Structure 1
């Protein structure tokens, strides 16, 4: 994750990377916490991970009214959320890359976590190599 993107978003990486093997779905990524004071009302918990899950797979297994197709950085993507009607809600963005996807998940106190997450992914995805 580019340091300037993390700094601009006031995010700090956690110590331990995430590695998950849930049968068919495999992930490898990192967790980030916002550096903003909770008293300011804008706390975030963000997960960014590479997965073998594609947007097609996600739509098939997680499809519902909240899943929307889009493009981010010229790549196919899905946005799932907001996952609750209340503050403290979450959102998932999955962007297709070679062999799977780049998944972004956020739990946030901001009113529209999907707008935040699409904007964040829009800063990361364009710097990926075209062949990735």
Structure 2
């Protein structure tokens, strides 16, 4: 019967190494903090994805910075929908969405919603208007 010694190495991601009496290593990755297993179409972002594109704002303008904890974010080219799922730009439609009645004529173009600039004193109660725009492939 082999005896085992367990070593814990904290190297950012964390690993559990099992060393038997014959010094053969078996390394098993483990997580510290939130789970790194993400739902369909999502990946784990160690910085927390504070600037994640979504259906209403596919091109967020914010200063990239790390959150205190990582979290799952949409894979590249996908957007967070109002239901919380990660979808392609063309699947961002919902009732009263500006793109709901827009057909993009250029092959491969995708409809996106852009918020027009406005001088609303309280955007929470009177949001700035949103318009549909067709965006060429590779611009998303």
TM range (shorter): under 0.3
TM-score (structure 2 length as normaliser): 0.24
TM-score (structure 1 length as normaliser): 0.25
Point out the structure with the larger helix share.
Answer: 1
Work out which of the two has the higher radius of gyration on C-alpha atoms and give 1 or 2: 2
Kindly indicate whether structure 1 or structure 2 has the higher relative contact order, using CA contacts under 8 Å at least 6 residues apart: 1
